[in-house]
């Protein structure tokens, strides 16, 4: 018996020795190969690749998630980089979401939390800011300016509002705000029940609203651009070769030119994603005609890829509108291609002729690019500075000429309505009724917000919408 036990112990020891000496190199490589690949790409293509040359990640770094690993690399450069990102095929996330809305899986509306605007209670409500066409929220009948007072019998609070970003079908209690003209007080006009379908992929159109507004016999074009893309990104089908959005832009501009608009309001408050090519195209339509053929923007890559630096020019082959100035509506969502467009126009035409209405933009002066797709990971690092025609890329956030925060106003009119506060402000400036100082001193005050209804009547008399077919 003792002999048998001795043999068993010996065999166990041998097995333990063999186990401890097992080569696990392949297992390590398999679990870290995506980050190893990302590191190789970053030290090659990344705009600040030279700053990574002295940094060597540890084996622990390589076991991080792709997003964590990318953040680690970016933090070692000495540059602030909030723009590079990764997409993992097995994870449904949207790198270009706006507030409480994302394209990948959502109910299709953005909202903000606020206290009962009537002042009658201290209850929280959600104010609907934007409803995207064709989305579950749009099909349910939700509208910009609605208030959600409860859902599925839950009271609204900061702890549960995320449930209205995505999920199962829900029942909403939607309230509409009324105004007592004599007392100047708000009250709940009615409450309706709304059935909200389950969340899904939502592809918001690039140009959801456009029209012509007659302002004292001056034809003002209005165009809302949410994404400066040539084609939609459709779920499950990846990137297509279609130019549907580019074609739509060309058709809209031809119609605006055909009716003879002499002023243009370009609404970029929700534009947070796009390409440089589409920015050039839109800029070529709205720039003052004498600048066609001149430099619009330049790109600067790292030293290894300096041969890819480009100089982009305003395209004189397009049907330029012949404007001398342009109004652009902005918000904190405005970033990337929209900012390249604005800064390029400001440099070319002068800031006095590119009039920004709204809030300061986000401040993206660099370009990201998908440089590969390996191991279920798509990598979008910063690869270039995007400068204006003079080569200046150190511009950051862009400040408005007329500083207006639309959320200081309890009533939110539809996008494109002459009474919508940002468009209304642009129209008043076109009419010569306000200046930059007026905007800072009066337009952004609570008193102006409360009196907005009276001023809207004046606007409606002098600004009539024309249908652009």
pLDDT tens, position by position, 217-235 = 999 999 999 999 999 876 4
Angle among Cα 410, 412, 414 to the nearest 5 degrees reads: 170
Q: What tens digit of pLDDT does each residue of 442-463 get?
A: 444 444 334 433 333 444 445 6
Residue 255 neighbours by CB under 8 Å, 6+ apart:
468, 469
Q: Where are the domains of the chain?
A: 28-81+366-384, 109-196, 209-362+397-466
Checking if the pLDDT of 400 tops 70, the result is: yes
Name the DSSP letter for residue 270. T
Query: What local confidence, expressed as pLDDT, does residue 300 receive?
Result: 98
- Quickly name the fold that domain 109-196 has: Pdz3 Domain (2.30.42)
Say how far apart CA 204 and CA 107 lie, in whole Å.
12
Q: What tens digit of pLDDT does each residue of 420-441 get?
A: 999 999 999 999 988 876 655 5
Instruction: Give CA torsion, residues 413, 419, 420, 426, to 10 deg.
Output: 180
Quickly count: other Cβ atoms within 10 Å of residue 210's Cβ: 20
Query: What local confidence, expressed as pLDDT, does residue 444 receive?
Result: 43
Higher pLDDT, 459 or 321: 321
Checking if the pLDDT of 5 tops 60, the result is: no
Say how far apart CA 336 and CA 339 lie, in whole Å.
5
- Quickly name the fold that domain 209-362+397-466 has: 2-enoyl-CoA Hydratase; Chain A, domain 1 (3.90.226)
Confidence category of residue 14, pLDDT binned at 50, 70, 90 = very low
Say how far apart CA 467 and CA 170 lie, in whole Å.
36
395 phi and psi, to 5 degrees?
A: -115, -25
Across 157-175, average pLDDT: 96
Across 73-78, average pLDDT: 89
Query: What local confidence, expressed as pLDDT, does residue 126 receive?
Result: 97
Across 244-273, average pLDDT: 97
Across 69-74, average pLDDT: 93
Of 210-219, 328-337, 406-415, the least confident: 406-415
Higher pLDDT, 22 or 131: 131
Q: What tens digit of pLDDT does each residue of 264-301 get?
A: 999 999 999 999 999 999 999 999 999 999 999 999 99
Question: % helix / strand / coil in the chain, to the nearest 5?
Answer: 35, 25, 40
Query: What local confidence, expressed as pLDDT, does residue 232 receive?
Result: 85
Across 57-81, average pLDDT: 89
Checking if the pLDDT of 468 tops 90, the result is: no
Across 257-266, average pLDDT: 98
Confidence category of residue 30, pLDDT binned at 50, 70, 90 = confident
C-beta of residue 204 within 8 angstroms of C-beta of residue 247: no
Query: What local confidence, expressed as pLDDT, does residue 22 receive?
Result: 55
Rounded to the nearest integer, the mean pLDDT of the chain is 87
**Maximum alpha-carbon separation in the chain:** 111
Q: What tens digit of pLDDT does each residue of 341-375 get?
A: 999 999 999 999 999 999 999 999 999 999 888 88
């Amino acid at each position: 018996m003792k002999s048998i036990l001795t043999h068993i112990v010996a065999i166990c020891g041998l097995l333990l020795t063999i186990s401890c000496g097992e080569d696990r190199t392949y297992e390590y490589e398999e679990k870290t190969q995506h980050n190893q690949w990302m590191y190789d790409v970053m030290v090659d293509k990344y705009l600040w690749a030279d700053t990574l040359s002295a940094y060597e990640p540890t084996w622990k770094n390589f076991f991080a998630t792709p997003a964590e690993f990318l953040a680690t690399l970016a933090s070692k450069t000495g540059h602030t980089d909030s723009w590079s990102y990764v997409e993992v095929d097995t994870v449904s996330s949207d790198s270009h979401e706006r507030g409480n809305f994302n394209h990948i899986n959502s109910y299709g509306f953005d909202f903000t939390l606020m206290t009962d605007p009537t002042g009658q209670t201290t209850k929280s409500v959600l104010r609907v800011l934007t409803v995207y066409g064709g989305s579950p929220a749009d099909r349910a009948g939700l509208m910009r300016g609605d208030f959600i007072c409860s859902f599925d019998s839950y009271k609204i609070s900061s702890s549960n509002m995320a449930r209205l970003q995505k999920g199962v079908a829900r029942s909403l209690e939607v309230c509409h705000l009324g105004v007592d003209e004599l007392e100047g007080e708000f009250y709940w006009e009615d409450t309706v029940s709304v059935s909200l379908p389950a969340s899904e992929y939502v592809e918001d159109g690039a140009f959801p609203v456009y029209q012509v507004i007659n302002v004292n016999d001056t034809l003002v074009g209005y165009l809302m651009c949410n994404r400066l893309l040539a084609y939609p990104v459709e779920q499950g089908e990846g990137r297509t070769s279609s130019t549907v959005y580019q074609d739509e832009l060309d058709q809209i501009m031809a119609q605006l030119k055909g009716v003879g608009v002499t002023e243009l309001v370009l609404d970029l408050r929700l534009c947070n994603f796009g390409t440089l090519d589409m920015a050039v195209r839109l800029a070529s339509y709205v720039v003052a005609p004498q600048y066609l053929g001149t430099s619009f923007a330049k790109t600067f890559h790292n030293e290894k890829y300096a041969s890819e630096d480009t100089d982009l020019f305003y395209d004189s082959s397009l049907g330029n509108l012949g404007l001398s100035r342009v109004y652009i509506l902005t918000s904190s969502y405005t970033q990337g291609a929209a900012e390249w467009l604005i800064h390029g126009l400001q440099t070319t035409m002068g800031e006095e002729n590119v009039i920004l209405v709204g809030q300061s933009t986000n401040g993206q002066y660099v370009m990201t690019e998908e440089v590969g797709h390996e191991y279920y990971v798509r990598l979008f690092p910063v690869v270039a500075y995007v400068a204006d025609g003079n080569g200046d890329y150190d511009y950051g956030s862009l400040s408005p000429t007329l500083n207006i925060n639309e959320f200081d106003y309890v009533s939110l009119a539809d996008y494109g309505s002459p009474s919508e506060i940002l468009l209304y402000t642009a129209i008043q400036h076109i009419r010569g009724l306000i200046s930059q100082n007026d905007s800072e001193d009066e337009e952004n005050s609570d008193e102006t917000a409360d009196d907005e209804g009276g001023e809207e009547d004046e606007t409606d008399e002098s600004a009539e919408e024309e249908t652009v077919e």
